[in-house]
Amino acid sequence: MKTLIDTRERKAKITRSFIFLFLLLSIILILFVLYSQNKYFKYDAKLYQNFTSRVLKQIQERTIQHYKDVLYEILLDDTLKHNISLGKREAVYKILKPKYVLLQKQNPFIDVMQIIKSDGTSFLRIHNPRKYGDRLDNKRKMVKNSITNQKFVEGFESGIYANSYRLMMPIYIDGKYIASIEIGINPDYFVLTAKRILDERGYLFIKKQNLVLHHNFMKFHIGEYYLQSDTYEKDDKLLKLFPTKIKLIPRFEVNFEGKTYILHMNSIKKYGGGEYGKFIFLEDITQSKNYQNEIRMYGFVLFVLFLASIIFLINYYMAEISVQLHEVYERFTNELTQRETYLTTLLNSLPNITISLIEREMESVNDKFYDFTGFSSLEEFKKKYKCICDLFVPRQGYLSAYIENEYWMDYIIARPDMDHFAILKKDDNEYIFRVFSSIVDFDEKQRYFIIFADVTEILRVKDELEKNQKLLIAQSKQAAMGEMINMIAHQWRQPLSVISMAASNIVIDIELDINDKNALKEESKEIINEINFLSQTIDDFRNFFKTDKKVEKVKISEILDKAIRLVEKQFISRSIEIIHNFQDEKNITTYSRELIQVFLSILNNSKEAYEEIKDIKKVIKIEIRGYDNRVSIVITDNAGGVKEDMVERIFEPYFSTKEKKNGSGLGLYMSKTIIEKHLQGTIKAYNYGNGISLEIVLPLFFGSWDRRSGKR
């Protein structure tokens, strides 16, 4: 039995190998036939059309060059030009007649030679000497342009007696234009020359409006195009097909006496614009057509054999396929079971509550779901609840079954970039979950996976951190208030001294009975000015301590000026100079009062650093640079800087580089907090020269700049 099965399998393999070999050979032959047809025998009418156009163009270019040289040679005869200028027609005729006869011997198609005077009249026609004196410049554009421009011109143009390709050259004596000489060539010259090169049948059709009545044309025509008689042989039987079976259509094919011809048309441009006529060539493509037909026949036979083999092969495999279908079905069932097991294992491996849904129906959940809800199976849960959203605790800012009239699951899936939170209750305790969603194509079905991550403890720790931060902010404010009181004392010391001195001067003048009104007036003005300064100082400090936060559109330089005014007196008393350098400054949208606090903290840090340094010129440089979507503020002092291993630590709370701490150690920490968390910017420090630089980068508008990448 086993031997019989092995024999059948060997025969089946041999049969399959034979069929595959035959199919492979058939495909190779078909591809070879198609390749041969396309590469060697497929007729390219457009390519031949371009070739005929190039041939005609080359003939025309050579004709122009040759007869241009001929005209130059003729005009080298000064006697000829002298006789033309004196109007001696017979003398000119005697000189030009032999040249005209010689040219006709060389080219029988030359049928025109004449001299045209500068006034546009015909001086002499060598081909018809009895006809002269008639006006030509009002009938022919070429004559008019030659006289007007006095340059060489050429082109197809119909005259009174001939349709010709004309070449016209101006005649000068001592630099003065006197006439033009013209040679005309019958257009048949171009057709017959091209026929010799192409070895094809060629004809010239001239448009009706360009016909010369004195010339001989055939009686029949095709539309508005007439066939010139000189361009055909009287025994040309193919020509007789033109009015009926041959149409002036590009690439028109016609069968005649067992041969196939294809029609090529080349339009002739008339001098001055418009169409003069058409060169028609009939190419014999009989051999290409016959070979193409043979190739198609062989290809058809091969295709039929190939198709028969395919049908046989299909029938052969149908039996095997029907046997294998049952195996495929069983394998598919096993795979489906394995996928369900894999999905369950995958869900259980996740550390958070995870739900798999198809549309809005809960399909499966993981063990974390059962641990939280207390149910032992999904079916048991569904008996009591329709959805996990039934466990949501409704509260402002958290998920509920419907948000803004939209189902909760649709809501979070449509907004993947938002943070979603839900409150679920268990044993009278509330737990906060962050909710994530994703869509996965699994097992040829679109599934929605909803993950509930317990963030209750994280939020509790976050609240504690925020409370600690608020405490630090309060301590920073208290420290700032102490510094502000010290600043007010410095700001007021000099104005109060000025007021006291002015008041004393007024009292002395009264006691001495000095009645100088002007002096009294000046002293009073000085007192008023100093009182106004004191009032402005109080307003500046009061604005600084206002608790309301308002976004303002301001310039950084304006905020810096306010901060400098608050510390100006202290800096002057300590001989500290502030240098500004503002470049391309732009308006920004920010919290100006918080930014003033940052600037004051940085300036006070530099001031305290200078307390330990003597015998140097104390300078603080402030540089502002504007960019497309951000602004940079760099504040640099020369107070010695800090150790490299401490640069990153200066923004830590309660950290100080000094042995004796004069402040709270919170200034730069609060500055970093304000810049990064409130103003959406960045701040960094680095040693520069003999000091330290602090660089602040802020966005021009909130949300307009990614501070991590520096991109919009």
Predicted local distance difference test score (pLDDT) of residue 117: 94
* pLDDT tens-place string over residues 27-40: 777 676 666 555 54
Q: Which two tokens stand for residue 661?
A: 């701490």
CA–CA gap between residue 123 and residue 134 (Å, rounded): 8
Q: Among the residues of 87-136, which ranges form H helices?
A: 89-106
Confidence class for position 677, pLDDT limits 50, 70, 90 = confident
Residue 710 pLDDT class (50, 70, 90 cuts): very low
Q: Which is more confident, 279 or 665?
A: 279
Quickly state the pLDDT bin for 221 (edges 50, 70, 90).
Answer: low
In the structure, what pLDDT confidence band is assigned to residue 367 with cuts at 50, 70 and 90? confident
**pLDDT of 342 above 70:** no
Distance separating alpha carbons of residues 466 and 26, to the nearest angstrom: 81
C-alpha span between 551 and 127 (Å, rounded): 99
Q: Report which residue type is found at 536.
A: Q
54-58, 156-160, 519-523, 688-692: range with lowest mean pLDDT: 519-523
CB atoms within 10 A of CB 373: 19
For residues 139-151, give the mean pLDDT. Answer: 91
Q: CA-to-CA distance for 529 and 456, rounded, in angstroms?
A: 60
pLDDT of residue 661: 47
pLDDT of residue 229: 57
Token pair listed for 686: 């680095």
Residue 114 contacts residue 125 (beta carbons within 8 Å): yes
Rank 150-154, 240-244, 671-675 by mean pLDDT and report only the highest.
150-154
DSSP code string of 4-23: HHHHHHHHHHHHHHHHHHHH
> What is the predicted pLDDT for the residue at 40?
45
pLDDT of residue 89: 93
Bridge partner residues of 267 (DSSP): 278
User: Given this model, what pLDDT does residue 709 score?
Assistant: 43
Average pLDDT value for the chain: 77
Strands 576-583 and 618-626: parallel
- pTM of the complete model beyond 0.75: no
> What is the spatial distance between Cα 170 and Cα 157, in angstroms, rounded to a whole number?
18
Within 456-593, strands assigned E span: 551-555, 576-583, 587-591
pLDDT computed for residue 44 by the predictor: 59
Q: What is the per-residue pLDDT for 439?
A: 81
Rg (the chain; Cα; Å): 53
The per-residue pLDDT for 354 is: 83
- In this predicted structure, which of 101-110, 211-220, 345-354 has the lowest mean pLDDT? 211-220
Point out the least confidently predicted range of 235-244, 246-255, 506-515: 235-244
Q: Average pLDDT of 373-380?
A: 86
* Angstrom distances, CA of residue 309 to CA of 19, 28, 53, 295: 7, 15, 49, 21
Q: Averaged over 217-236, what is the pLDDT?
A: 61
> Is the pLDDT reported for residue 174 higher than 70?
yes
Torsional class of 658: left (φ above 0), alpha (ψ -120 to 50), beta (otherwise): beta
Interatomic CA distance for residues 232 and 281, integer angstroms? 12
Query: What would the DSSP string read from start to end of 197-212?
Result: HHTSEEEEEEEGGG--
In the chain, the N- to C-terminal Cα span, in Å, equals: 78
Higher-pLDDT residue of 246, 114:
114
